[in-house]
Amino acid sequence: MEGFRETADADHFRRGISLLRKTVPLVALALLAGCAVPASPQVAPPTTPSSAAVSSHDFADVERTFGARLGVYALDTGSGREVAYRADERFAYASTHKVFSSAAVLKKLGVAGIDRVVKYTQADVVSASPITSQHVADGMTLRAVMDAALRYSDNTGANLLFRELGGPPALGSWLSSIGDRTTHVDRTETTLNESAPGDVRDTTTPRTWARDLRAVVLGSVLPPDARTFLTDTMRANTTGAATIRAGVPAGWQVADKTGTADHGTRNDIAITWPPGRAPIVLVVLSDHRAADATTDDALIARVTTAAVKALG
């Protein structure tokens, strides 16, 4: 949910870095310290992943500077290089789940099936629903509902997608069917953003979320027309201008979905297309100790810049 913040894990600053099989130098992360401001079974990796070396001190310095906990996973699908930091720790996924709710509905109905109009009442409308709140009287097609959920992070739209699937457990089962045994899907909007330290509900890990994202956008989980619809809608996202999009070089294309929750949670997950190169999968999740902490888009942008530089 955009505008509603949460945390994901009791061990808020656990010192675990996911290190990697093969290293290349990483110099980009050094500048961050001073700034205030394996795949799904359905998607075979192009190469054996190797990794950019990440110093725990580099990321720890960034966390101290911003007062945040970071979870990062980036994969260059062409070279196989990866960057990982706290990649197997749990974070609240917040509104980033809307990518996968949409993908699951597309898998269920196909593109031909999403022009059906769905009806709902004023009682169904929750906060942060800028599009669906305007169409209570006439309803919306599922195509328009997905557009609202993905591009405007509309929370009622997300709940209508949950309803189409059969509720949060149905999304969890679908994720399991594409190889995800990690993510917990438990509640609808907006309560899925109301977790406490140690609460594993509605959480995932950066590595898992990246695998899932790669599967639905770049893999064979969805038929080509559904994959194109999902990707094009994410490319037109309106909520991510200051996060991953702000951190990649000019000229890169980005299809992303942001998320915001309690404890200063700010997330962004994306597929990025560098000109003339294979796409990069990037997941950046973050939270803070204090329940009322503010979010920090600049943190996501800075980590993005460092991650893509590390990948080379």
What percent of the chain clears pLDDT 90, i.e. is strictly above it? 75
Question: 23 or 76: which carries more pLDDT confidence?
Answer: 76
**Is residue 190 over pLDDT 50?**
yes
Looking at residue 45, its pLDDT comes to 39
What is the fold of 28-311? Beta-lactamase (3.40.710)
Spot the catalytic one: 18, 40, 51, 95.
95
Question: Which residues 6+ apart lie within 8 Å of 275 measured at CB?
Answer: 251, 252
pLDDT at 18: 42
Q: How confident is the model at residue 48 (pLDDT cuts 50, 70, 90)?
A: very low
Amino acid (1-letter code) at residue 66: F
Name the band, by pLDDT with cuts 50, 70 and 90, for residue 149: very high
| Residue 189: active-site member | yes
Nearest in space to 63 (alpha carbons), one of 35, 41, 42: 35
For the chain, how far is it from start to end, CA to CA, in angstroms? 33
The mean per-residue pLDDT over the stretch 47-71 comes to 73
Question: How would residue 53 be classed by pLDDT, with cut points 50, 70 and 90?
Answer: low
Residue 117 is inside which H or E element, if any? strand 117-118
pLDDT digits over 160-185, tens only? 999 999 999 999 999 999 999 999 99
Contact 264, 34 (CB under 8 A): no
- Range with the poorest average pLDDT among 52-56, 136-140, 207-211: 52-56
**How do 253-261 and 117-118 pair as beta strands?**
unpaired
Tell me the C-alpha distance between 230 and 114, whole Å.
12
pLDDT over 70 percentage in the chain:
82
**Strand partners of residue 281:** 75, 271
**Nearest CA to 266 among 2, 67, 45?**
2
What are the φ and ψ backbone dihedral angles of 194, each rounded to 5 degrees?
Answer: -105, 60
Q: Are strands 253-261 and 140-141 parallel, antiparallel or unpaired?
A: unpaired
Q: Each residue of 55-91: b (16+ CB within 10 Å) or e?
A: eeebbbbbbebbebbbbbbbbbbebbbbbbbbbebbb
Mean pLDDT within 76-101: 97
132: left (phi over 0), alpha (psi -120 to 50) or beta: alpha
How many residues are there in the chain? Answer: 312
pLDDT at position 140 over 70? yes
In the prediction, which pLDDT does 196 show? Answer: 74
Mean pLDDT value across residues 272-290: 97
pLDDT per residue over 229-264, tens digit each? 999 999 999 999 999 999 999 999 999 999 999 999
2 is catalytic: no
Name 5's bridge partners.
Answer: 262
Q: In the predicted model, is pLDDT for residue 41 greater than 50?
A: no
**Three-state SS at 139:** coil
50-51 and 91-92 strand pairing: unpaired
What's the whole-model pTM score? Answer: 0.85
